[in-house]
């Protein structure tokens, strides 16, 4: 048995996932077989592109977006729920 559990099938939340390092993480995690929630402050072209690219690796329902400002505690609770 490996010291590290598999990430396949797990749900991962990536903040700032629409661009930069966050986007790279989203794409890598989708390729690895996780369910990914991409958190962004608001809708954007970059978010839509990242979602579409990640969904090309896994079923569309396995990659979702969650919009909210992480500086707001209630938004954080809503995203996690």
**Residue 9 confidence class, pLDDT cut points 50, 70, 90:** confident
Task: Say whether pTM exceeds 0.75.
Answer: yes
> Helix, strand or coil for residue 24?
helix
Give residue limits of the domains in the chain: 11-80
**What are the structure tokens assigned to 1, written together?**
């048995």
Has residue 1 got a pLDDT over 60? no
Whether 37 and 62 have beta carbons less than 8 Å apart is answered as no
Whether 36 and 56 have beta carbons less than 8 Å apart is answered as no
């Amino acid at each position: 048995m490996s010291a590290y559990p598999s990430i396949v099938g797990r749900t991962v939340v990536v903040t700032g996932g629409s661009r930069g390092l966050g986007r790279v993480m989203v794409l890598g995690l989708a390729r690895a077989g996780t369910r990914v929630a991409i958190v962004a402050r608001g809708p954007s072209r970059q978010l839509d592109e990242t979602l579409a690219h990640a969904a090309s690796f896994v079923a569309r329902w396995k990659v979702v977006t969650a919009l909210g400002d992480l500086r707001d505690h209630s938004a954080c609770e809503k995203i996690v729920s």
